[in-house]
Structures are given as structure tokens and as C-alpha cells.
């Protein structure tokens, strides 16, 4: 855990959030800056900077958290699909240097970053 990392503080309970789902190594919560209602984050409980730093032994827990979160937000938002997005390093627009995955519910004809889904 890094003392100055916001996701580490959330993982430790120093910053309170409503968790959508959690298992031994990951948890999910709503993104604070949602462009699409239901935009959620899946975050590792331990501090890893990028996906390349994740040990393969926790891959099934990552997939579990992504799937359970996507199902819950799709049901809640009545979405027809979803994106899983993971930015790694500054060149790929990773802002928080703690590995996390964006789960973005989508509906036909919605707009995300100017992109229309048909």
C-alpha cells in the first residue's frame, strides 16, 4: 500500500465508498466522474501500478470481480452491453497509478466521448 494513493486509502477503508462487489483481491465501486450513469471501477486491493504488475495467480479473482460488477450495473442501468477499459502508463492516459478497470454500461444510441453506439 502506498500512503499517497487514493485507491490504497479506499482499499484500507480510510476513504469510505459504497462497494458494488468485492472478493479477496479486488473490489468495485462507482466512478466519481461518470460520463455514463453506472460507470464503475474494479480496483486491486494491493498496490500494483499497471496490469503488467498483477501476478497471474489472482487473474480469476479479477475476472470474477469484472463479471459480477458488470452484471450488477447492467441490471441496475438496464444496459444492453458494457465496455471493460484498462489504461496502462501515462501514454495510455492512466491517471491514477494504481491498476484499475473501468466497467461502462452501454445502451443503443447512447453517447460516450462522442462515440455513438448503434
Share of the chain residues as helix, strand and coil, in percent rounded to the nearest 5: 30, 25, 45
Whether the CA torsion 109, 33, 42, 114 is positive or negative: it is positive
Per-residue pLDDT of 31-89, as tens digits, reads 999 889 999 999 999 999 999 999 999 999 999 999 999 999 999 999 999 999 999 99
> Residue 116's pLDDT band (boundaries 50, 70, 90)?
low
| Alpha carbon separation from 77 to 16, 60, 72, 80 (Å, rounded) | 23, 26, 9, 9
Give me the chain's average pLDDT, please: 93
Q: How far is CA 8 from the centre of its chain?
A: 14
Q: What is the pTM of this model?
A: 0.92
One of 47, 98, 100, 102 is an active-site residue; which one?
100
Residue 118 pLDDT grade (very low, low, confident, very high; cuts 50, 70, 90): very low
Is 102 designated active site? no
**Structural domains of the chain sorted by starting position, each given as residue range(s) with its CATH number in brackets:** 6-116 (3.30.428.10)
**CA dist., res. 60 & res. 118, Å (int):** 32
> For the chain, first and last CA: distance in Å?
42
Amino acid at each position: 500500500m502506498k500512503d499517497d494513493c487514493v485507491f490504497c486509502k479506499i482499499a484500507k477503508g480510510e476513504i469510505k465508498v459504497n462497494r458494488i462487489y468485492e472478493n479477496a483481491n479486488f473490489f468495485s465501486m462507482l466512478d466519481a466522474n461518470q460520463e455514463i450513469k453506472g460507470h464503475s471501477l474494479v480496483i486491486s486491493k494491493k498496490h500494483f501500478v499497471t496490469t503488467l504488475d498483477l501476478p497471474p495467480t489472482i487473474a480469476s479473482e479479477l475476472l470474477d470481480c469484472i463479471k459480477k460488477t458488470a452484471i450488477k450495473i447492467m441490471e441496475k442501468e438496464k444496459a444492453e452491453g458494457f465496455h471493460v477499459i484498462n489504461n496502462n502508463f501515462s501514454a495510455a492516459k492512466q491517471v491514477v497509478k494504481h491498476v484499475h478497470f473501468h466497467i461502462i454500461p452501454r445502451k443503443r444510441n447512447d453517447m460516450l466521448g462522442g462515440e455513438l453506439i448503434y
